[in-house]
């Protein structure tokens, strides 16, 4: 396919280019770092089940809606709503998305900086054997240092900015063709190794055999919903923006299913890699955001030549994080380019720079600002993550579902999405019109205790 320019907008060079870019956005720290620690904190299998239900019944339909909106409007997260529904308030969803992009990338850069630091320490040999104070001590020393993590956050953000500066198509269309499959192969290999560890039985039970009593805790629904949106890059217009670089020849439902399917597979494989090790090495599953950093070095230490796997693991995970970070920055940059007529270069530098600065408190919150607790005892990073991932993304998704389900003529929605008037297309619209909005609404209500209150009225 040719590199045709559509009124000056970039277009993906091929169908594969688009799918790879969307997969590159979806697969990232969310599948390994965030999935592992959130699953660990929420008790494992019961959480996983709700997470999968959220992906299937809420996530995939909204992925389809974002692709459809983006390709049809050919504009950014905000402009797409303005174009398809001029003068209507739907564009608030896009503005919330831009805000979420700023927030998520601010802490994403911090964690990706940690990953990069670990990669370099496997390169230099520092982490080939346990340092004085052990791997946990090494981790805590590093993240509580006021300056050191900022350097790595800066380097990671600089790489993200550089890619967005040259343009999404040139920058990322090719980059993930090799590295993402390699990460997949490595995770599969490491999860096979995990199954040989002493903790395999316990780890698998934790991940796959649900403790049903966990389902009575309203918080795990919100956590699962947020994780589904975060992992799918959903609810903030990232997929609208990527869909806008797509030509009209593509078939969207297949693309949506493969992106969501692959993303979910990565998370499950990562779970099989991590939880047997968590039990084998006696680490608490609910250790929080440090879980991956504390457990994986033990795993590599227990393999002969394991440092090589450590090196590859942190390198490939950093690469996966980079393609996700690019999509986050692109949401904001695409908006500023159109809305304020900035050049791509100016937008990438200015916005990327601001986001780097916004991330600094999240980094300092691990050390000198660790006594600052914002939302329910969460530190700065966790609080920003909570507001963006568990509130803004599902809220944005809710609006996108309503827009596609009710703001479109039914016949248009069916044909613009490539579903046509099929049972699948109608099922999709049903989920967007009724199921997803109601489910998101109920999860919100229950997480603030309102659902209980209302149900009690009827008891």
- Positions touching ligand PHE (CB under 6 A) are 25-26, 28-31, 104, 230-231, 233, 236, 238, 324, 327-328
Tokens of 264: 């979910």
Nearest residue relative to ligand PHE (C-beta): 30
Nearer to ligand PHE, 46 or 104 (CB): 104
Instruction: Kindly state the smallest distance separating residue 330's Cβ from ligand PHE, in Å.
Output: 9
Nearer to ligand PHE, 31 or 80 (CB): 31
Phi, psi (rounded to 5 degrees) for 6: -100, 105
Instruction: Kindly state the smallest distance separating residue 164's Cβ from ligand PHE, in Å.
Output: 13
Instruction: Kindly state the smallest distance separating residue 23's Cβ from ligand PHE, in Å.
Output: 10
Question: What angle do helix axes 60-73 and 252-280 make, rounded to 10 degrees?
Answer: 140
- Residues sharing a CB contact under 8 Å with residue 391, sequence separation 6 or more, in sequence order: 226
Nearer to ligand PHE, 69 or 104 (CB): 104
Nearer to ligand PHE, 68 or 264 (CB): 264
Nearer to ligand PHE, 116 or 324 (CB): 324
Q: How far apart are CA 377 and CA 100, in angstroms?
A: 21
Instruction: Kindly state the smallest distance separating residue 172's Cβ from ligand PHE, in Å.
Output: 13
Dihedral in degrees, nearest 10, Cα atoms 449, 452, 453, 457 = 170
Nearer to ligand PHE, 35 or 122 (CB): 35
Q: How far apart are CA 125 and CA 307, in angstroms?
A: 8
Q: Which helix H or strand E contains 266, and what residues bound it? A: helix 252-280
Q: How far apart are CA 127 and CA 130, in angstroms?
A: 6
The partner residues of 9 in beta bridges, in order of sequence, read: 6
Instruction: Kindly state the smallest distance separating residue 297's Cβ from ligand PHE, in Å.
Output: 21
Instruction: Kindly state the smallest distance separating residue 324's Cβ from ligand PHE, in Å.
Output: 4
Question: Both ends of the chain: CA-CA distance in Å?
Answer: 63
Tell me which residue of 124, 120, 182, 112 sits closest to 150, measured CA to CA. Answer: 112
């Amino acid at each position: 396919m040719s590199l045709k320019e559509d009124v000056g907008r970039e277009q993906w060079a091929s169908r594969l280019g688009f799918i790879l870019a969307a997969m590159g956005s979806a697969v990232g720290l969310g599948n390994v770092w965030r999935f592992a620690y959130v699953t660990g904190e929420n008790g494992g299998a019961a959480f996983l089940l709700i997470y999968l239900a959220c992906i299937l019944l809420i996530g995939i339909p909204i992925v389809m809606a974002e692709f459809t909106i983006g390709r049809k409007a050919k504009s950014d997260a905000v402009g797409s709503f303005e174009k398809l529904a001029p003068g209507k308030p739907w564009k608030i969803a896009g503005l919330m998305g831009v805000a979420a992009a700023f927030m998520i990338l601010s802490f994403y850069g911090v964690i990706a900086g940690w990953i990069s630091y670990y990669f370099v320490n496997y390169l230099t040999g520092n982490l080939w054997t346990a340092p004085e104070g052990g791997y946990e001590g090494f981790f805590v020393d590093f993240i509580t240092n006021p300056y050191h993590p900022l350097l790595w956050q800066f380097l990671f953000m600089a790489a993200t900015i550089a890619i967005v500066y040259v343009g999404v198509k040139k920058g990322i269309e090719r980059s993930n063709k090799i590295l993402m499959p390699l990460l997949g192969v490595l995770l599969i290999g490491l999860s096979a190794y995990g199954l040989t560890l002493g903790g395999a039985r316990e780890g698998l039970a934790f991940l796959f055999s649900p403790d049903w009593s966990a389902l009575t805790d309203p918080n795990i629904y919100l956590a699962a919903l947020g994780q589904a949106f975060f992992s799918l890059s959903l609810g903030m217009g990232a997929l609208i923006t990527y869909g806008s670089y797509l030509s009209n020849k593509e078939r969207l439902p297949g693309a949506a299913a493969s992106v969501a399917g692959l993303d979910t597979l990565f998370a499950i494989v990562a779970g099989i890699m991590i939880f047997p090790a968590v039990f084998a090495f006696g680490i608490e599953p609910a250790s929080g955001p440090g879980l991956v950093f504390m457990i994986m070095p033990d795993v590599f230490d227990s393999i002969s030549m394991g440092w090589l796997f450590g090196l590859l693991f942190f390198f490939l995970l950093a690469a996966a994080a980079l393609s996700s970070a690019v999509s986050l920055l692109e949401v904001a940059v695409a908006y500023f380019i159109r809305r304020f007529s900035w050049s791509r270069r100016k937008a990438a530098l200015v916005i990327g720079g601001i986001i780097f600065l916004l991330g600094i408190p999240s980094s300092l919150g691990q050390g000198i600002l660790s006594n600052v607790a914002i939302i329910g005892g969460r530190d700065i990073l966790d609080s920003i993550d909570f507001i963006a991932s568990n509130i803004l993304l599902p809220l944005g998704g809710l609006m996108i579902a309503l827009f596609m389900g009710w703001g479109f003529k039914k016949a248009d929605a069916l044909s613009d999405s490539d579903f046509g008037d099929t049972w699948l297309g109608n099922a999709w619209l049903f989920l967007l019109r009724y199921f997803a909005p109601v489910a998101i609404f109920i999860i919100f209500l229950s997480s603030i205790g309102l659902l209980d209150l209302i149900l009690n009225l009827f008891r």
